[in-house]
A and B are shown apart, each in its own frame.
Chain A
């Protein structure tokens, strides 16, 4: 059975420290926000807007955060909810139509690496952006090696359903990449 070793909130922390605590947790887990934003928006401006919108919603939902649960799971829920809603919003979808390869150019890696690895990164990037919003959420969680339990909790599915979907997703990845 997979166990979540990700950091949890300190429930003994005084209330007045929660603002600073939120900022610290946001900094520690900013990768989740950045990854979700980059997976749902191609244009850098849209991406920055989405990242900020996610942070705003995190802060708004912060008072209701159940401290006995993993922060990253809660953060994923909000980030994905905001991103999926944003991608469905016509304004954001049609405001900046950026070709897929230019998106990756914007995410260019300054470190030198081999051509085959670069090709694989591009293929994966293309594959992520080809997915429907909900499928993309599942794919991101799978790639981030979240447990089936975590994925079920984030998406609101049963663990059995998640296992089935992951198995089909693996087949598609093998077939299409």
Chain B
């Protein structure tokens, strides 16, 4: 196609595109704006709630391990909760900060890179702070029990050992299922672009976006 033909074809196509969406655009409804704002608010609220949960975990963990420095099980449970609480706050804050930094008015490649980083942080946060709940409910129960009077030298109750074993198996099975499911999907033709639902989809998607940007810059 010669340049003049291209120009003429584009003018015709552009006019059709503009006409096609002009009515829709004129009908910009406040409901849509409200919905978008509501969606963003929910996203932010979720991460602020995660921060609050982290603070709660730290408070419970600190209360438990400072009172029971001479009971190894309770000390360990308290420290685990303390660390998990910090992890929850760091994960949520990191995601909130990255989300706040996204300004769609910045150059396309800059924003696409920032969005890929945000996606990766979001996926990592969901996995690192979500998957451990298979086990983390136990230290919570133990720590709550540790706030009361615990007889010195008392052994670990049997139900805790059993619960820990069952939770450990659950965590392992979830991880193995995710791994097998992902391998099966990645063997298919569309494997690189489908969602595996194993918690790492966001990370893979962010890798694809970054690779796409690098390829575009290199061409």
Residues of chain A whose beta carbon lies under 8 Å from any beta carbon of chain B: 26-27, 30-31, 33-35, 37-39, 44, 47-48, 51-53, 55-57, 59-61, 64-65, 74, 77-78, 80-82, 84-85, 88, 90, 106-109, 113, 117, 120-121, 123-125, 132-135, 137, 143-144, 153-157, 161, 165, 168, 173-174, 177
- Which among B22, B32, B107 has the greatest number of chain A C-beta atoms within 10 A? B107
* B9 x A34 contact (CB < 8 A): no
Residue of B nearest to A152 (CB): B107
Contact of B148 with A by CB under 8 A: no
Give A153 to B108 CA distance when docked, in angstroms: 9
| Stretch among B65-73, B86-94, B163-171, B211-219 lining the A interface | B211-219
**Given the contacts A117-B8, A124-B9, A124-B10, A157 and B21 also touching, CB distance less than 8 Å:** no
Interface on chain A toward B: helix, strand, loop, or mixed SS?
helix
* B12 x A56 contact (CB < 8 A): no
Rounded to whole Å, the gap between the CB of B43 and the closest CB of chain A is 14
| Chain B residues within 8 Å of A53, by CB | 36
Interface on chain B toward A: helix, strand, loop, or mixed SS?
helix
Further 20 A-B residue pairs, CB within 8 A, beyond A56-B32, A82-B104: A30-B26, A31-B17, A34-B17, A38-B21, A52-B29, A56-B36, A64-B103, A77-B107, A80-B108, A107-B20, A120-B8, A121-B13, A132-B216, A134-B109, A134-B213, A143-B10, A154-B107, A154-B108, A155-B107, A177-B1
* A173 x B104 contact (CB < 8 A): no
Give A75 to B38 CA distance when docked, in angstroms: 23
Residues of chain B whose beta carbon lies under 8 Å from any beta carbon of chain A: 1, 5-6, 8-10, 12-18, 20-22, 24-26, 28-29, 32-33, 36, 103-112, 115, 195, 205, 209, 212-213, 216-217, 219
Rounded to whole Å, the gap between the CB of A51 and the closest CB of chain B is 5
* A61 x B107 contact (CB < 8 A): no
Partner of B1, one of A60, A64, A113, A120: A120
Give A65 to B104 CA distance when docked, in angstroms: 11
* A161 x B217 contact (CB < 8 A): yes
* A157 x B109 contact (CB < 8 A): yes
* B112 x A124 contact (CB < 8 A): no
Rounded to whole Å, the gap between the CB of B92 and the closest CB of chain A is 22
Rounded to whole Å, the gap between the CB of A84 and the closest CB of chain B is 6
Residue of B nearest to A39 (CB): B17
* B212 x A132 contact (CB < 8 A): yes
| Chain B residues within 8 Å of A143, by CB | 6, 10, 14
Partner of B9, one of A56, A64, A123: A123
Give A52 to B28 CA distance when docked, in angstroms: 6
| Chain A residues within 8 Å of B5, by CB | 120
| Chain B residues within 8 Å of A52, by CB | 24-25, 28-29, 32
* B14 x A35 contact (CB < 8 A): yes
Rounded to whole Å, the gap between the CB of B2 and the closest CB of chain A is 8
**Given the contacts A135-B216, A157-B217, A51 and B24 also touching, CB distance less than 8 Å:** yes
| Chain B residues within 8 Å of A90, by CB | 195
